[in-house]
Structure 1
Amino acid sequence: MSTTQSERLRELLEPLVTAAGLDLEEIELSRAGRRRQLRIVVDSDEGATLDVCAELSREVSQQLDETDVMGDEEYVLEVSSPGADRPLTERRHYARATGRLVKFLSNEGGELVARVVALDDDGLDVEVPGVKGRKPTARRIEFADIARARVEIEFNRKDTKKEEEA
């Protein structure tokens, strides 16, 4: 049974990423003109800083140079964090989104924008913002009912930690 290049890359790189205290979120190999582009997306509970991505990029590059997993063709390596518009697909993504506003699409097609308050193995406790001066309402969303979810960017969000300390 043969393994795909993507599987070989994951087997090779996951230990490096894990040793750096990160999660390997995605490996994407695509063609950009004559060259190939290898995009590696990493994250952690604290996020993946530019310095961490740069250091990991050096380690990944060295590891790839020591193997034949990329073959002889030229390629461009990119190591980055997922970015704000990444879909939430794993439990750890939702945990990292605690306190953030998320747009949910249910399996039935309904949409809901709510703030993640807490989570457990089965789902999320969220707070739906109040409209026109009404108070927010609590709601439960089961993971099995979520078709898609993404964090909503909030440009005017108050820093809740500063409010709690005051």
Structure 2
Amino acid sequence: MTTADGIRPTLHEALDASGLVLEDVVVTPAGRRRVVKVLVDRALDGPDTVTEPSPPLTLDEVADATRLVSDALDASAEMGEQPYTLEVSSPGVGRPLTEPRHFRRNVGRLVSARHEGQDVTGRVTSASGTEVTLAVAATRSTPARTVTLPYAGLERAAVQVEFARPDESKDS
């Protein structure tokens, strides 16, 4: 078992009561040390279908997660005696969307996806445990439309970086 696989249960247990979930853990050698990169995200409780954007993690929440992870690793024998550097963060925008919870977490964001061989880009309007709904903007050849994609047919998906998001609250 690799070190990342070995510490994963310890990290799950440490984060369990914090309202955060472990997204990924990677351990890489760096000279005489190792770098332990831990990705955490907010657990989404509530309805199966999400239609409202969820807030990103705050710096305080990441700091709390860092303390929990650090204490758990220090108390565990999994890391051994070799020194390590711990990096805890939330998943970045370039991270692929591979689980239903990833889509639920990104309601309101622009997503590019490949579904059963077809590329589609749209804003996530809702996401459930089985499918995601995208609002696709009009183009010269197609009118604006809503597309519902079952996760079973998704080949890949990622959040698109937007430098000028549309104004969501236009008050007249």
TM over 0.5: same fold? yes
Match of 1:69? 78
Q: TM-score, length-normalised on structure 2?
A: 0.83
Match of 2:50? none
Q: CA–CA distance in 2 between the matches of 1:83 and 1:152?
A: 11
The reply on whether 1:59 has 2:68 as its aligned counterpart is yes
Q: CA–CA distance in 2 between the matches of 1:23 and 1:67?
A: 19
Size of the aligned set, in residue pairs, is 161
Among 99, 114, 117, the alignment partner of 1:90 is 99
1:92-118, Cα deviation, whole Å (9 max, x unpaired):
11011112110102343x321111112
**More moved, 113-122 vs 97-106:** 113-122
Partner SS, residue 158 of structure 1: coil
Q: CA–CA distance in 2 between the matches of 1:99 and 1:57?
A: 28
Report the Cα offset of residue 70 of structure 1: 0.3
Q: CA–CA distance in 1 between the matches of 2:101 and 2:35?
A: 27
1:24-68, Cα deviation, whole Å (9 max, x unpaired):
100111112221111110011533222211222122222222221
Q: TM-score, length-normalised on structure 1?
A: 0.86
Match of 1:19? 17
**More moved, 54-63 vs 24-33:** 54-63
Q: Using CA pairs below 8 Å that are at least 6 residues apart, which structure has the higher relative contact order?
A: 2
The reply on whether 1:99 has 2:122 as its aligned counterpart is no
Q: CA–CA distance in 1 between the matches of 2:132 and 2:8?
A: 30
Output the aligned Cα RMSD.
Answer: 2.1
Report the Cα offset of residue 134 of structure 1: 6.8
Q: Show the 5 A alignment for 1:15-164.
A: 15-44=13-42, 45-108=54-117, 110-132=118-140, 135-160=143-168, 162-163=169-170
Partner SS, residue 29 of structure 2: strand
| Identical aligned residues as a percent | 35
Q: Is residue 113–residue 121 contact of structure 2 (8 Å, CA) maintained in 1?
A: yes
**More moved, 28-37 vs 146-155:** 28-37
